[in-house]
Amino acid sequence: MKHFLVLVWVFLISASSFAQFEITQIETYDEYVMESKPKLVVGIVIDQMRYDYLTRFYSRYGEGGFKRMIKEGFNCKNNQINYIPTKTGPGHASIFTGITPKYHGIIGNDWFDKELGQNVYCVGDNTYNTIGASNRSGKISPHRMLTNSFADENRLATQMRGKSIGISIKERGAVLPVGHTANAAYWLDYENNGSGNWVTSSFYMDKLPQWVLDFNASKITESYFKEWTTLYDLDSYSQSGNDLNTFEGGFNGKETATFPYDLNALKSFNGNYNIIAETPFGNSLTTDFALEAIKAEQLGQDEITDVLTISYSSTDKVGHNFGVNSKEIEDTYLRMDLELERLLKYLDANIGRDKYTVFLTADHAAPDVPSYLKSLKIPADYFDESKMYDHLNDFLQKKYGVANLVLSRINNQIFLDHSKIKTSQLDLQQIKKELANELLTYDLIDKVYLTSNINQLEATNGYLEELLKNGHHQKRSGDVLFVYTPNVFKDTPWNRTGTDHHSGFNYDTHIPLLFFGKGIKHGSTLKKTNITDIAPTISALLGISFPNGATGQPLEFVLH
């Protein structure tokens, strides 16, 4: 009996010690998580950045921008977009929600709304008003994004005390990253001869903060109506083609797409403030505004993590205009490197070198200009979707005796008039099959896929098929999807020069992913990572819930 009592006593003491050990460990871990949290997370998206812009221009970059992030941070060299279409709206939504368009619902920059019977903009919302200008540029909200972002989860985790602010020249680049609970999202009113002000939507606030009013009144924006010439001697730009060629668009009012560009002289021919957005100075202006936001909103000044998202849009606009092999794109990225250095130096000085975390990625990449590739005998071409649209309606009318059965063609999708098909007692699936067979007779269309009666994508397993499934939303996507052969663009007047993006090929999907700062290891990997892994990784760093729809995986090899 004595032995039994001794054993019980020993067991109880051991159990108590073990429980105490466990509690100590948990408390230590909690302390570690609190200590490891950055004061500020900065999510940088560089619009239309190919991965090889890191390597191609590496020798020309300074030590404080891209190189610093690579040398002191973590470089995911095989980062991919895992859905189609590769557009700006879906890219920004997927980065910050950790999920593909199949669930977050942003299936393009624009798409055909089946209920409204018209195209809609991914962040357009007529129920709100412009704050900061007298036009429609602020009729914007994130209401079409069906899931939340890691910025939303950080707001929830901090009882709404952690701030979230989104900044971009483009509305969608500012709005989608910070989700539904943001304190603010700001964008530049530059289109359609806009005011040149930084504006927002009444979704966020009733009036602009004083610091934004002061910034708009400062004439900083107007200071960029100046000459755009190369940062270094033009002859030293060896990683791009000839300055004078037939593959670039250029600006109205100037005969050739060649340096230098006098923006003050050209502004009236090119939408005034629009020409700033179309040059590297749009990125400089974005940094100016972001630094002012950090200061005025006191981001990162307490122990509660704040989130700032910055989308640099002018890289995309220069690419669309001049193409990925242009002197203009090389100069834009050399200047982008300086903007990144300026931002990091400011964070060092005002937040603290080991107090913030930055990630840098892109919403999509881009291919070479098809006409340039054709000149090198590489297969590439342009496809006239307007003619295809008319032809398909004529084809179906001759076959079924009903006019205009095709309502829309957008994002490589065909939308059929279900109401008319039902009224005419036609077989929807049979019409889809007929369309698919007809589309496959086109030279530049390589593959065609159908949706089922409940609008699920009917596709066998394969790389492109998986990307299409991830980009397909049952309620919002079309009835028939088609895929071009590589290096094929939609034929429009503005696509004949410069680049575009939409596909699931590597030239559109391979984008950079750099992590830097507090909680981040130094290193690199060639393991495949996806755009949807970013939000779970940052959520894990912060010790918060993943975004509500996230399917991506935390990249544990990135984190300390």
88 is a catalytic site residue = yes
CA distances from 344 to 37, 201, 339, 553 (A): 18, 29, 9, 27
Cα–Cα distance measured from residue 491 to residue 508, given in angstroms and rounded to the nearest whole number = 18
At 124, is the secondary structure helix, strand, or coil?
strand
Out of 24, 28, 55, 88, the active site residue is 88
CA 204 to chain centroid, in Å, comes to 21
**Which residue(s) pair with 186 in the sheet?**
167
* CA-closest candidate to residue 38, choices 485, 433, 464, 357: 357
Burial of 455 (0-12, 13-18, 19+ CB in 10 A): middle
CA separation, residue 371 to residues 230, 239, 246, 438, 528 (Å):
25, 19, 9, 27, 31
According to DSSP, residue 265 is labeled H
Rounded Cα distance between 282 and 339, Å, is 11
H or E element, residue 527: strand 523-530
Distances (CA, A) of 407 to 41, 391, 392, 416, 478: 44, 13, 11, 5, 10
Question: How far is the C-alpha of 383 from the C-alpha of 335, rounded, in Å?
Answer: 34
Active-site residue set: 88
